Structure 1
């Protein structure tokens, strides 16, 4: 339509309930997004139509075919089921479209995406965003993530979905504000903002965020923002968890919400249901202090699949599983004599501490026990980690000696029992302090109350340190890693990721590996070495990872900063766990970084190092193995149930019952089966497991994957596949006198060269050839290669250029008229391509459009069947080779047909009815599957416009 002296395309019709008036979201006629809105009640808006093709201008079949390709690729607001398939650079498999379908059936999209690790929740989120953005249902999105995932989200959104999001942090804010007018807020200016939960939950930041309108909120690793078990649920209570309060406020205010987590249930119903209440408060009802879940309602809001659910779904429908085979094994390291000497000295120190703290309060006793376990765990990790802990503790002792043993003020605020326990048990970070800081504070808990006790403790620590320094020279664990374990894995592939719990161990491994590589070892010839940890800025971490990603032969050493939410499958297929994490969920998170959907290699290799004759063996047998058995029985890896205080209470009680007064801590740390069984029952009790299974929504088998695949196929037919995009690229490059050649190093990479003036028109600035690929995995692993999609800048520019030039009569490449010969035409035919626009009476109303064809016999005026039209337009098109004047007479005749408008109207009405039937059938199928939310109006369709795009005259071959 025409308004403000410009042509616009209406994308969505809105109704303001408060002011009671309609307004339109619009874009320009070619579909370029705009922030403009039109107000029909107060400004002049007139219906406009695309003028018919020129009767006196003849184009060519080549130009017309290219124009129609461009128009179809640009038809982002069409009648297809899934428009996200070509608005992203991912090739999803059918199960990943299930949450997209769920979202499309909601007026307000409120979903908890709770698929297992490795199934692609980030991909599912990106596809949902593209569907809603393409359909003009959302415009502004706030992403709330853990701090270490901000750059990962930014990269994925940009590279795979063409969404440019800014990262908002205290450090970035000044830069973002410098690009705005004075007083402008980046929160209100940018449409896509990524921020960390720790930054955003602060009162001043939270208040500013809430001042602006967001259409959708996406919260990743949502288990971090759920209400703690037994925690405060009153937003006015000062003791409420800050991240939970922030999440509550966001989810209550803004319409669309996606919560992402692989572990939504921690075994406590109150915590789990706090997430369900965020997506829809009506799901939860409290009856006599009992929490009830309305599962019939919740099933529409929760998408939760285990890996084996998906594998069963896929079955024989694909040539191979989308998941790799896992080759996983534990490698048992026999400790050296020097290791035992070190542990003996550490036990002597530990027993000394436990003896004097037994005289203190129960709480201090418990806190110290966690500290002792912490020291043993770090000793098992590496001698360097133990030495660093000793340095930290002696530094604290020296402060006390110098200050006449003043105690740490408010020990609970310094490090609570729960935080000390989580440090040992590899639990989640708290709102208060990072994991690294939590470990350091655990080193520094010194409770000795006299100068003599402090001095003796320091002396014992120095004895341990002497032995640990000796161990560094005779460390069998690091020797086996470098001389056997890594070289054996390098026989499979030249990329390895090594995880360790501690930064100090990371630096120790890096130093030893670097010395080996620098020495010229043939085993490591050509290998590069990288490391990342949580104390590096997140941007720096991603830069290092990108270098590792593109390197063909390299080792990456990382702490768990790369183990949560970051997809590593394109960079490597081998993982080494340098020590056993005591949290099976964390171990699964690590392994799931490479053992996941999209892993290009058929097999992943995972090795976990275990120190024999240590507490690691007990943890492996009675915790990790137990978790694996639970996964086999229940289908999920459970979290730890029970808080650290409960665990330490039980362990302390068992210690008093089972151990003689003269027993050493060595025998204590070699936990008895009874103690470990008690620990297991605290972590994994049957009641908690049954609670999870009862409350969860595993399977989601009510949605038929065949229906999803049918709709995906229909979408591909209407908007084209990656092969369609490549064909368009090839034709466009030829048209503009460029070159498209296969790269020498890889058959899947193509190099595009275009004249400088064409690149200028496309607003593409490059040095050298543009490198593209249809292989999405290759596009993900190579920064110098861009995967082809509609979000590709080159493709988008070519579409716009072809449309503009092929539509304008004065341009060289006019494509709205053409003539060609066909072996499928016995008489002269006319083929018309039409764009039909529909009004869908949903709430709010929406507009959709499609391109379709009409064929008639030019002289008998009989209408061609769909089969005949398809045979003609899909066959070989040879230039008619007839004089322009001769062809133009036939074009004029085809355009002047007296019944042409009636034929167009009949076609539009026929297509409308087919659309209604298709949507009515869809509603029935979805109702059978239990998905009926917000479908009202999708089958109430009206034709609101029909535009003639192109006309072609077809002559019989040899005529």
Structure 2
């Protein structure tokens, strides 16, 4: 490299500088006295801040060194270098800055929230797509775009505690963002070493925070003051629901955050409207104060203004919308739903009647309305355990013997409430009232012990075995079996292990910490024949679509949204199987299952069919419990039970409440659906940019060639490839191991891969590490080891040209200036080719780089090859006008692309100018000599 002295204040974004004994690219100027720079041969991870006035040696302007004839290499090295350069760049010049960082190929419909966000000065949005459509991807794309445009430099994700690790993983894998988890268990260690007066959020700019940790009264105000300007709130509905203290604290926190009118906030939920109009209004009020209350429906003008305001901030699509209106049916597996009824017999059937008879006796003796309600709730909770399994019944009866029921604990268990601290309560509850008959209770415990000792004879378990045999056999599926209680899951797992000895059966329950749950699930990746038994601690928090493609509901859900969440763990965007199965088991003659089907399940199916959305159980728990008790007593075979209590018109009241909830949800969906934006208007720009950066074909080509050069070639594995991470050179092996890549894995480069095949795209750690290493191996050979070094020049003969051709591999740098407020660096890898006599190019861009793909017929021996390189280098100055003109042409084309996206998003007042930074960097120089036929 060469360098000339320059005053640091004159340095601009995109300039090359020499400091600390090496060359750097100026990425940004955070202040007059600071420069953010990246090593010329390094990656974004190597960027640092320097203060030129404080450097021991003066900071100089530098120029990029030309290749020379001492750096000769082969055609394969030339191909590797140009592909590595393209795949390693992370600062694209196109209108979607985030494209270079994405580890997922978004579908057209997933661009809608991003386009909506681009038209908002302050990004406040409610993304309420169905479970499994890809809300995390949609929010992550907005976040990544904001970071890459330089509009934000920090963010936080607020989510329930069981989702923290999932968010950290998703941000790293799909968006190339390393974030820090902030939970009650980790906060103390994060705070150690922080300077007095600083905070976790001042030291760590990218955080994922547990809502239950940060909502506390003692932390809320401090967090609000230190909170970044960009916030994502996952499961936002859990912050606006009922009157529980936890919900109130969460809503108070979010209210405090929205007081800063410049703060961007993305709210994510699959259930924006639970039927509670007040909760829905609170949720919308976080987007804009005007949305707190809908206007009187008689005022058409006011209603239209409200609708337009909401349409700016609210997007909600159902699965059928995606498949039908967007033509994206292939993005999802075909759902195969089935019921699996079974019939209780003998002692297993009689036991339910015995327990119900006992509970009714307790309820009869209850004194007062509150005691009677607690007795009813205790009955339902106990009967739910009895219907789950003999193991859960035994545990619940023992708990009843040793502890009194608490109403606050029974509610979440009964109705699968996931809005507060009891989200993971899969433990069998205490259900005792104050009028127990201990002798009778001990007799029931004895009966439960007997049934549990014959667990494999339970008709319910026998039906499960039949279903699992069908799924794992004919359908070659990998099932997740969801149970409501820990005791059931553990008993089912143990019994399945004895029946399916060729399979690995794992059990995950609330006994494990979130980290342990994740570890157990991920360990199953090494076992193709896998069965997972889990409680609802996994119905949220860990996506299972890469390992499983079937769900068996061993226990009925009492909350329809939980049923949807279970299925959504495997039936979601990214599921590679063509079909996913969902099997719902229920006892055809079960007292409790019959009541649930009549009161809850059938109504849920009807509402979903009519509206296309799942509406949670109405929040009036008394109406629900009364209707369930009434239905359960009617299912009993004992006349005494049927006539014991008069619940009046409990089922009719519940029906009215559910109808109201359905109507509210339906109105919100149809009136405010977001349909204005047309992503097809900008898809050409998106695809054009992804092609420039490198699509699946380029990624596969580069990966195969790079690993072959390193003597660890990919092995054929059917239609896919086998990569051996442990055989990599030491430098690469250590870098990949730090990203969790070890052993041998099967990979593919397209979407819709089988569940056991990992999709490898341009930001996958394997590709990113190889590309960075190969690029560095050319620009700084001393920084890498062995065959990762690449020469920057080459000469060969080929039939792909008809005259001597000089091909230059270029790195173009651009300055993007947005509305005169912000200057960003952008880069593009490309090429330009010249003939033997003229200094006018004969090919540019992809057409020029394609010349490298024509196979060499033979090499040219020294010193002739060195002479050809020297002759081409002598024309360097003559090439510069054409290179500059091409850079200006690319800048004009990119400016046009920005304008097209601006027009498609109806953006106003936002302009982007693109200016080339010259001279362009000549990364490689290759001479192609025509081979005579």
Asked if the contact 2:24/2:37 (under 8 Å) is kept, the reply is: yes
**What pairs with 1:792-803 in structure 2 (closer than 5 Å)?**
792-803=764-775
Quote the offset at 1:527 in angstroms.
Answer: 2.4
Q: Does 1:920 align with 2:899?
A: yes
The answer to whether structure 1 residue 891 and structure 2 residue 872 are counterparts is yes
- TM-score norm. by structure 2 comes to 0.84
1:224 Cα deviation (Å)? Answer: 1.2
Task: Say whether the 8 Å CA contact 2:43–2:88 is kept in structure 1.
Answer: yes
The change in CA–CA distance for 1:31 and 1:101 in structure 2 (over 3 A counts) is: farther
Distance (Å, rounded) in 1 between the aligned partners of 2:233 and 2:518: 20
Q: Pick from 901, 905, 917 the counterpart of residue 884 of structure 2.
A: 905
Output the CA distance in 1 between the equivalents of 2:190 and 2:716: 39
**Structure 1 residue aligned with 2:823:** 845
Q: Aligned runs of 1:432-443 on 2, under 5 Å?
A: 433=422, 436=425, 440=429, 443=431
1:404 maps to what in 2?
none
Asked if structure 2 preserves the Cα contact closer than 8 Å seen for 1:618 and 1:671, the reply is no
* Cα separation, partners in 2 of 1:287 and 1:312, compared to 1, 3 Å: closer
Q: Distance in 2 between matches of 1:210 and 1:642?
A: 31
Residue 476 of structure 2 aligns to a residue whose secondary structure is coil
Instruction: Please list, as runs of the form range in 1=range in 2, the aligned pairs for 1:183-222 lying within 5 A after superposition.
Output: 186-207=200-221, 209-210=223-224, 212-222=226-236
Q: How does 1:523-542 map to 2 (within 5 A)?
A: 524-542=500-518
1:193-592 to 2 correspondences below 5 Å: 193-207=207-221, 209-210=223-224, 212-228=226-242, 241-253=248-260, 255-281=263-289, 283-284=291-292, 294-315=306-327, 321-357=330-366, 359-360=367-368, 362-396=369-403, 414-416=406-408, 420-431=410-421, 433=422, 436=425, 440=429, 443-444=431-432, 446-448=433-435, 454=436, 457-472=437-452, 473=454, 476-481=458-463, 483-491=465-473, 492-493=475-476, 495-514=478-497, 517=498, 521=499, 524-592=500-568
Please state how far the C-alpha of 1:282 moved relative to its aligned partner: 5.0
Count of equivalent residues? 891
Match of 1:774 among 718, 726, 748: 748
Note the C-alpha offset of 1:560. Answer: 0.6
State how far apart, in whole Å, the 1-side matches of 2:670 and 2:211 are.
Answer: 26
Local SS of the residue matching 1:598: coil
Equivalent residue for 2:691?
A: 717
1:688 Cα deviation from its structure 2 partner = 4.5
2:706 aligned with 1:729: no
Residues 412 and 423 in structure 2, CA contact (< 8 A), matched pair in contact too = no
Please report how far the alpha carbon of residue 545 of structure 1 lies from its aligned counterpart in structure 2 after TM superposition.
1.4
C-alpha deviation, 1:178, in angstroms: 6.4
Other-structure match for 2:776:
804
Q: Let me know the Cα RMSD of the aligned residues.
A: 4.2
Check the 8 A contact 1:267/1:641 in 2, yes or no: yes
For 1:920 and 1:604, locate their aligned partners in 2 and report how far apart those are by CA, in whole Å: 42
**What is the CA–CA distance in structure 2 between the aligned matches of 1:767 and 1:688, rounded to whole Å?**
47
Deviation for aligned residue 1:599: 2.2
1:561-602 CA-to-partner distances (Å, cap 9, x unmatched) read 111243212222222212211211111211222222222222
* Cα distance in structure 1, aligned partners of 2:763 and 2:326: 29
* 2:270 match: secondary structure: coil
Helix, strand or coil at the partner of 2:904: helix
Q: Which shifted more, 261-270 or 840-849?
A: 840-849
Q: Corresponding residue for 1:704?
A: 678
Tell me if structure 1 keeps the 8 A contact 2:180–2:208.
Answer: yes
SS in 1 for 2:891: helix
TM-score, length of structure 1 as denominator length: 0.82
- 8 Å contact 1:55–1:891 — kept in the other structure? no
Query: Which residue pairs with 1:625 in the alignment?
Result: 602
Distance 1:735 1:120, change over 3 A: same
Query: Is 1:739 aligned to residue 712 of structure 2?
Result: yes
3-state DSSP class of the match of 2:44? coil
Asked if structure 1 preserves the Cα contact closer than 8 Å seen for 2:158 and 2:209, the reply is: yes
Any conservation in 1 of the 2:18–2:61 contact (CA below 8 Å)?
Answer: no
Partners of 2:671 and 2:63 lie apart in 1 by 50
Which position in structure 2 is the counterpart of 1:27? Answer: 38
How far apart are the structure 1 equivalents of 2:790 and 2:609? 64
Q: Distance in 1 between matches of 2:562 and 2:412?
A: 12
Q: Give 2:614's match in structure 1, choosing from 637, 645, 666.
A: 637
What is the CA deviation profile of residues 309-341 of structure 1, one whole-angstrom value per residue up to 9, with x for unaligned ones? 1101343xx7x7222222222222222242443
Aligned in 2, Cα 1:789/1:637: closer, same or farther, shift over 3 Å? Answer: same
SS in 2 for 1:440: coil
Equivalents in 2 of 1:88, 1:80: separation in Å? 14
- Indicate conservation of the 8 Å contact 2:81/2:778, yes or no: yes
Question: Is the counterpart of residue 680 in structure 1 residue 672 in structure 2?
Answer: no
Q: Is the 8 A contact 1:425 1:583 kept in 2?
A: yes
Within the candidate set 703, 720, 724, 1:751 is matched to 724
CA distance in 1, matches of 2:400, 2:735: 62
Provide the secondary structure at the position in 2 that maps to 1:170: coil
Determine if contact 1:24/1:39 at 8 Å carries over to the other structure: yes
**What is the rounded CA distance, in whole Å, between the counterparts of 1:252 and 1:779 in structure 2?**
45
- SS of the aligned residue for 1:257 comes to strand
TM-aligned CA deviation for residue 241 of structure 1: 0.8
- The Cα shift of 1:298 comes to 3.2
State the Cα distance separating 1:438 from its structure 2 match.
8.7
The answer on whether the counterparts of 1:24 and 1:38 sit within 8 Å (CA) in structure 2 is yes
- Shift of residue 763 of structure 1? 8.2
Q: Which residue of 1 aligns with 2:4?
A: none
Task: Using the TM superposition, give the Cα deviation of residue 4 of structure 1 relative to its aligned residue in structure 2, in angstroms.
Answer: 5.5
Cross-structure match for 2:583: 607
* Candidates 9, 19, 26, aligned match of 2:25: 9
The structural deviation recorded for 1:720 is 0.6
Structure 1: stretches of 5+ with no match in the other structure: 16-20, 233-237, 398-407, 409-413, 449-453
Summarize the alignment of residues 51-130 of structure 1 with structure 2, pairs less than 5 Å apart.
51-54=65-68, 60-82=74-96, 84=98, 87-130=101-144
1-side partners of 2:340 and 2:751: how far apart?
A: 31
Counterparts of 2:512 and 2:777, CA distance in 1: 50
C-alpha spacing 1:744/1:888, structure 2 compared with 1 (3 Å):
closer
Q: Distance in 2 between matches of 1:334 and 1:820?
A: 77
CA distance in 1, matches of 2:850, 2:529: 51
Q: 1:309 to 1:52 in 2, by over 3 A?
A: same
Say whether the 8 Å CA contact 2:79–2:852 is kept in structure 1.
no
Contact 1:201 1:243 in 2 (8 A): yes
